[in-house]
Amino acid sequence: MNVSVVIRCFNRIEDLTVSIGLIKRFTAHRYDIIVAFNGHLKGYSLSDDIVKSVSDVVHVGNNDSHTSGSAALLMESIPRIKPGTDYVILLEADTWMLDEALVTKYIDLLAASDAVWASSKWNDRLPTLGVDFAVCKYAFLKDNIAMFDFKLMAEEYACCYLIDRGYRYIIMDEFHPVTMTRLLHPFFHNKDRRIKDFPRARVVAYHIEDLKGGMIEKKRRANICAGRNIFPEAAFGEQELVRRNRSLHRYHRTIGWYNDMFFWYKRKRRIPMTGAHT
């Protein structure tokens, strides 16, 4: 399959470099990488190595806020995707795909159905779809750029766009849960109460400024999440890696159970998610 990867970046240049390096290792599909960048407005710049390693760099002028900046990055980069593309991966620079098994799984599911989009359920209380990591059909995306013309909550806007127009989508259960119920907030101290590593998806999305060890700590956690030493500079012994990976899986199952118990009886604000997804 011909797969275009659109990576959005403002100032996370180091994350971007790692993400591109990971994708370059993938072999199941033909990957074309596009970087949508608006950091130049605040003095950030991409190295020559980054520019040479990707197919295209789209410099975007809008950076009024995180939400409107992200919308502009998507709306201006999608028209630059090459004709002949089959599927598109939307990705934030700090969201690392540690292998391509998840991509292949959802490309196959999309190909076998009339769904046009696959991503996480962002919020258990509202009809929402994650936009930090998504796999979608290019034939749909090129004619529906308005899906990203969001002003406030991108995840709710994207989901309601699909629902209102009768498009089907697939929930990536490997990312459940993305956020945790407020019952657990006293036990966790990350600022936005979001989960940052997803061992079933083999994806990590930490902000390095939130980690005491910075980039090397993110790479350590990526190794744990993947269950193998992708980054030798942050390697674990084999038995220690297995133990930590199992512990991470148990942690996610526990968080997911509490979230499900808290939200199962909650009604959606608009259309129930169960009536809209495949």
Encode pLDDT of 17-67 as tens digits.
999 999 999 999 999 999 999 988 788 999 999 999 999 999 987 666 566
Asked whether residue 252 falls in the same domain as residue 192, the answer is yes
Asked whether residue 122 falls in the same domain as residue 195, the answer is no
d(CA 18, CA 203): 13
Asked whether residue 125 falls in the same domain as residue 229, the answer is no
Where helices occur in the chain by DSSP H, the ranges are 13-24, 48-53, 66-77, 101-111, 138-141, 154-164, 214-226, 238-263
Which of 175, 180, 174 shows the shortest CA–CA distance to 254? 180
Q: What is the pLDDT of residues 67-84, one digit of tens each?
A: 677 889 999 999 999 999
pLDDT at 82: 94
Domain contains 275? no
Domain contains 269? no
Two structure tokens written together for 151: 């002003």
Asked whether residue 135 falls in the same domain as residue 187, the answer is no
pLDDT at 189: 57
- Neighbouring C-alpha atoms within 13 Å toward the C-beta of 268: 16
Q: What is the pLDDT of residues 136-183, one digit of tens each?
A: 999 999 999 999 988 778 899 999 999 999 999 999 999 988 776 666
Asked whether residue 28 falls in the same domain as residue 151, the answer is yes
pLDDT at 271: 42
Which of 80, 98, 99 shows the shortest CA–CA distance to 33? 80
- Of 172, 200, 229, the domain-final residue: 172
d(CA 57, CA 37): 7
Q: Is the pLDDT of residue 99 over 80?
A: yes
d(CA 40, CA 60): 9
Instruction: Identify whether 177 is preceded by a cis peptide bond (ω within 30 of 0).
Output: yes
pLDDT at 277: 45
Domain contains 273? no
Q: What element of type H or E holds 97?
A: strand 96-97
Asked whether residue 154 falls in the same domain as residue 218, the answer is no
Q: What element of type H or E holds 89?
A: strand 87-92
d(CA 199, CA 122): 17
Asked whether residue 112 falls in the same domain as residue 91, the answer is yes
Range of the domain at 119: 2-172
d(CA 36, CA 157): 21
Asked whether residue 128 falls in the same domain as residue 30, the answer is yes
Asked whether residue 164 falls in the same domain as residue 193, the answer is no
The domain tally of the chain equals 2
3-class state of residue 251 by DSSP = helix
3-class state of residue 214 by DSSP = helix
Asked whether residue 14 falls in the same domain as residue 67, the answer is yes
Asked whether residue 208 falls in the same domain as residue 107, the answer is no
- Of 146, 172, 198, the domain-final residue: 172
69, 10 in Cβ contact below 8 A? Answer: yes
Domain contains 85? yes
Asked whether residue 140 falls in the same domain as residue 203, the answer is no
Task: For residue 32, count other CB atoms closer than 10 A to its CB.
Answer: 18
- For the entire predicted model, the pTM comes to 0.87
Which of 215, 190, 217 shows the shortest CA–CA distance to 93? 215
Q: Give me the CATH number covering residue 148.
A: 3.90.550.10
Two structure tokens written together for 235: 């390697």
d(CA 203, CA 106): 15
d(CA 217, CA 271): 40
